[in-house]
Amino acid sequence: MIARLLISLLLTVLLPSVGSGLSVSPAPLPEGLFRAGVTQPQGPEGPRMDVAGMEAALRQDGGRDSVRMAAVDAKMAEYLSVIEAESATFKQGECDFMISAAGDTLTRSHIAQKLYDHYLNSKVMGDEAVAIYLYDNWFAPGKVRFDDDIDLLNARVFADFNRRSLIGMSAPELELEDIPGRKAVFPASGRQTVLFFYDSSCSKCNMTAILLRYLLQEDDWNLDFCAVYTGTDRSAWESFVSEQLDFDAPGVRIFNLWDPELASDFQRKYGVLSTPALFLIDHYGVITGRRLDPVALKQLLLIGSARQRLDELCPIGSKVPDLRINGKRIRRYRYLVFYTEGCMRCEKELSSLPRGRRILKVNMDEILSTDRALAQKLFESFDLSVMPFIVRLDCRGRVKEKYISFVKK
């Protein structure tokens, strides 16, 4: 596993200080990684040491030698860049491993703080979930400590104000009021929603509102735009709406809202500690974008449009095409498992497949290299944008279920 590679990287730095005469050559990070949704290292991983050996080295070293800890930080940063494209859940597990591998409290705390700062300030959307995980599971229980109690307080505030609006969560409902004084619950079910929190005195909010207006007017997005004023000055709110948010856009329903009494608790539900704050919620009511700017929002909207078109491939109830893969007719199988080599999620799914069922495993790398025409037909028939892709068929070759996972949660 990638995580175990970190042990040899750390020991490369730490072992020379033990005085045992041991010398470990640096284990190079794998080059030319093939990404298909996730990354898996290829090729030799270099010399390894067990966790006990690493703990002993860290204990004897004292764990806080500034030169060596700086080198550890550099190696850790290099490793974190390798797993950047992985899911938040995967990163959480790797953080647990890295922190636990250290044998003394000071070193564990140092590594935990570095990881927390990295994921708190990461530009990768969704990484803040890892920072909250680290606070909940390491800092809050006292297993590791921040250098400053103020940092612990800040981490607690960040976790409390953001844990309910993370990527993949159901969007918290808010009862808000429009300008005429009518109250309604947002976001509305069945509609994709852009949620924009702003303040009239915020210069960045003004610029964001202008960019959002241009963005929403340039295409038929078919969504709700909920602009939520976070202040209490009705006159300032109405003036801002008149100047910045009074526009029409094709396919867009526009709602100008506020909550001067803070009864909806929108600050805590959506982590609105500063403005602007921009979220994207899909038509299922799930948060798909947070901490966005208008450029990132447009990218997600375009991806969502493409995603919708891909979802329309092999719809539930339709027959899969009558194709043969390596001489095997795909309609005769109950499960089709499309995968690619060098994909961690694919390997987990393949190792979790149930026995005794008619399952056809489809190696897309092999098909792409041997039968381009067949590969083209498969891409035109199934959503293979991210693998593994697993579909369940009935006895007549009709789609019963798709986007299946056999990995136990």
* 145 burial level (CB within 10 Å; 0-12, 13-18, 19+): middle
Q: Is 197:230 a contact under the CB 8 Å cutoff?
A: yes
**Total residues belonging to the chain:** 409
Amino acid code (one letter) for 3: A
Q: Is 25:69 a contact under the CB 8 Å cutoff?
A: no
3-state secondary structure of 193: strand
- Could you tell me if residue 408 is inside a domain? no
Taking the C-alpha atoms of residue 275 and residue 103, their distance in angstroms, rounded to an integer, is 42
- Could you tell me if residue 185 is inside a domain? yes
Q: What pLDDT sits at residue 309?
A: 73
Q: Is 134:122 a contact under the CB 8 Å cutoff?
A: no
- Could you tell me if residue 130 is inside a domain? yes
3-state secondary structure of 134: helix
Q: What pLDDT sits at residue 409?
A: 59
Q: What pLDDT sits at residue 345?
A: 82
Taking the C-alpha atoms of residue 269 and residue 267, their distance in angstroms, rounded to an integer, is 6
Domain end call among 287, 310, 333: 310
- Could you tell me if residue 318 is inside a domain? no
Domain end call among 138, 162, 186: 162
Q: What pLDDT sits at residue 387?
A: 85
- Provide DSSP, 141-169: TTSS--SSHHHHHHHHHHHHHHTTS-TTS
Residues 23, 153, single domain; the answer is yes
- Could you tell me if residue 152 is inside a domain? yes
Taking the C-alpha atoms of residue 189 and residue 192, their distance in angstroms, rounded to an integer, is 8
- Could you tell me if residue 319 is inside a domain? no
- Could you tell me if residue 190 is inside a domain? yes
- Could you tell me if residue 315 is inside a domain? no
The tokens of 129 are what? 């979930």
End-to-end C-alpha distance for the chain, whole angstroms: 19
Q: Which domain holds residue 243?
A: 174-310
* 307 burial level (CB within 10 Å; 0-12, 13-18, 19+): middle
Residues 360, 243, single domain; the answer is no
Residues 132, 198, single domain; the answer is no
Element of type H or E holding 361: strand 359-363
Tell me the average confidence (pLDDT) per consecutive run of 10 residues in the chain, 409 residues long.
Answer: 42 35 30 31 34 44 64 88 89 93 88 96 93 98 95 96 93 96 88 95 95 91 94 97 92 95 96 95 89 93 78 89 95 95 86 92 94 93 88 95 84
Q: Which residues of 96-133 are buried (b: 16+ CB within 10 A; e: fewer)?
A: bebbebbbbeebbbbbbbbbbebbbebeeebbbbbbbb
Residues 202, 139, single domain; the answer is no
Contacts of 346 (CB under 8 A, 6+ apart): 36, 339, 340, 387, 388
Q: What pLDDT sits at residue 401?
A: 92
Residues 111, 189, single domain; the answer is no
Q: Is 323:17 a contact under the CB 8 Å cutoff?
A: no
CB atoms within 10 A of CB 19: 9
With a threshold of 0.85, does the pTM exceed it? Answer: no
Q: What sign results for the dihedral spanned by CA atoms 134, 135, 136, 140?
A: positive
Helix axes 88-101 and 2-14, enclosed angle (nearest 10):
30
| Angle, CA 90 vertex, CA 299 and CA 314 arms, to 5° | 55
CB atoms within 10 A of CB 54: 20
Residues 115, 230, single domain; the answer is no
Q: Is 183:176 a contact under the CB 8 Å cutoff?
A: yes
The CB-side HSE value for 250 (13 A sphere, CA atoms) comes to 5
Q: Which residues of 204-231 are buried (b: 16+ CB within 10 A; e: fewer)?
A: ebbebbeebbebbeeeebebbbbbbbbb
